[in-house]
Amino acid sequence: MIIIKKVQSKLKPVVWILLFMAIGFNAFSQNNTYEIYALKFASLKFKFPVTFFAVGSTSKDSVQPCYIVYLLKGNNGKNILVDAGFTETPPIYNMEGFNYVRPDEMLKKINVDPASITDIILTHPHWDHIGGLDLFPNAMVWMQEQDFNYFVGTAWQNNIDSSGFNTKDVLKINKKKLDKKLQLVNGDSVEIMPGIRVFTGSKHTYESQYVLVDAGNDKVLIASDNSWLYYNLINLLPTPLTFDTNAYLQNLKRMRAMVKNVDLILPGHDPLVFSKFSKVIEDVVKIK
C-alpha cells in the first residue's frame, strides 16, 4: 500500500501537467471561426444609374440597391450581426419605396431567435444600418467611439449635414449605452472579439468601420458602405458618400489586399451578393 501511494503521489503532478497541456493545446488549436450569412431584408423598388454611386464612372449600367444584415455564427456560441438594418425611414424617405421584411423576421426564417443575438457590430450609424437596434435587446453593440461621439453630438449642430441620420436612432443608441450594452471601440485594426478585427479610415461617416472575419479556410471582409457596390472595389472608384474621397479610395485598395479575391469582400448595398453565393432560402445566402 505504501508503495502504491508513493507511486500515486509521484504520478499526480505528471497527470496534472499532461491535463493542463491538453487543455492549453486544445484552447490554442481551436480557432474562433464563423459561418457568415447575408440576409437581404429590403430593396429599393427602382433602379439607379451606377454613376450615382461611383465618382468618375462612365458606366451605362443601373443597379437596384438592396439592404443587408450579416449574421456571423461562431463556433464559440456567439450569434453576431454586422449592422441592424432599419424598422422605419427618416421623414425625407418613404417606406412605400421599399420591398421590406423586418430584419428580425428574416432571422426567424433561418431559425435564428432574435433574442439569441449576442452582439451587433455597427459599421456606421446611418439610419439603414442602426435603426433595427431595438429588435435585439440582449445584444452588446460595438461601435467606433469617434463615430458615436459625432453621431450623438456634432451631427446635430446647426451648420452640419445630418441627412443620413435619424434622430430616433440617437435615442436608441443612448438607451443601449444606459443599459450598459454599448462597447466603444477606439481606432483602426482592433480585434474586438476572437477572430473578428475592425478597421477604420474610409470616412463613409465620421469614423465608419469595416469588419474582417475568420471564416475558417478564408478571411471574409464585410465592407458595408465602405464599398457601396462591387463596382467600387473592382474599378477602384469611390462613392460620393464620404467625408474624404481619397481616404475612401485608399481603403478600397487596402481592403482588396486583405483577402484572397474581391468576391470575399461584401459591399453595403449590392444585389450581386445574392447571386455570387449559395442560396439558403429566398434572400439569404451563405458566404462560402
The answer to whether 225 contacts Zn ion (rule: CB under 5 A) is: yes
Considering only the stretches 7-15, 27-35, 58-66, 127-135, report the one whose residues sit in contact with Zn ion under the rule CB under 5 A: 127-135
Identity of the residue, 74 or 148, whose beta carbon is nearer to Zn ion in the bound complex: 148
Identity of the residue, 128 or 147, whose beta carbon is nearer to Zn ion in the bound complex: 128
Would you call 159 helix, strand, or coil by DSSP?
coil
Question: Could you tell me the smallest distance in angstroms from the CB atom of residue 225 to Zn ion?
Answer: 4
Question: Could you tell me the smallest distance in angstroms from the CB atom of residue 15 to Zn ion?
Answer: 56
Question: Could you tell me the smallest distance in angstroms from the CB atom of residue 30 to Zn ion?
Answer: 35
Q: Per CB under 5 A, which of residues 243..272 are in contact with Zn ion?
A: 268
Instruction: Compute φ and ψ for 2, nearest 5 degrees.
Output: -60, -40
Identity of the residue, 128 or 169, whose beta carbon is nearer to Zn ion in the bound complex: 128
Distance CA 65, CA 193 (A): 30
User: At 209, which helix (H) or strand (E)?
Assistant: strand 209-214
Identity of the residue, 67 or 136, whose beta carbon is nearer to Zn ion in the bound complex: 67
The answer to whether 169 contacts Zn ion (rule: CB under 5 A) is: no
Identity of the residue, 74 or 268, whose beta carbon is nearer to Zn ion in the bound complex: 268
Size of the site for Zn ion (CB under 5 A): 3
Distance CA 211, CA 40 (A): 18
Question: Could you tell me the smallest distance in angstroms from the CB atom of residue 12 to Zn ion?
Answer: 60
In DSSP terms, 119 is beta-bridged to: 80, 140
Pick from 119, 128, 147, 207 the residue near Zn ion by CB under 5 A: 128
Identity of the residue, 147 or 225, whose beta carbon is nearer to Zn ion in the bound complex: 225
Considering only the stretches 5-13, 98-106, 145-153, 220-228, report the one whose residues sit in contact with Zn ion under the rule CB under 5 A: 220-228
Instruction: Compute φ and ψ for 114, nearest 5 degrees.
Output: -55, -30
Count of CB atoms within 10 A of residue 75's CB?
13
Question: Could you tell me the smallest distance in angstroms from the CB atom of residue 36 to Zn ion?
Answer: 18
Measured in whole angstroms, the distance separating CA 82 from the mean position of its chain's CA atoms is 3
For residues 68 and 30, is the Cβ–Cβ distance under 8 A? no
Count of CB atoms within 10 A of residue 195's CB?
20
Distance CA 47, CA 231 (A): 15
38: region left, alpha or beta (phi > 0 left; psi from -120 to 50 alpha):
beta
Q: Name the residues that contact Zn ion, by CB under 5 A.
A: 128, 225, 268
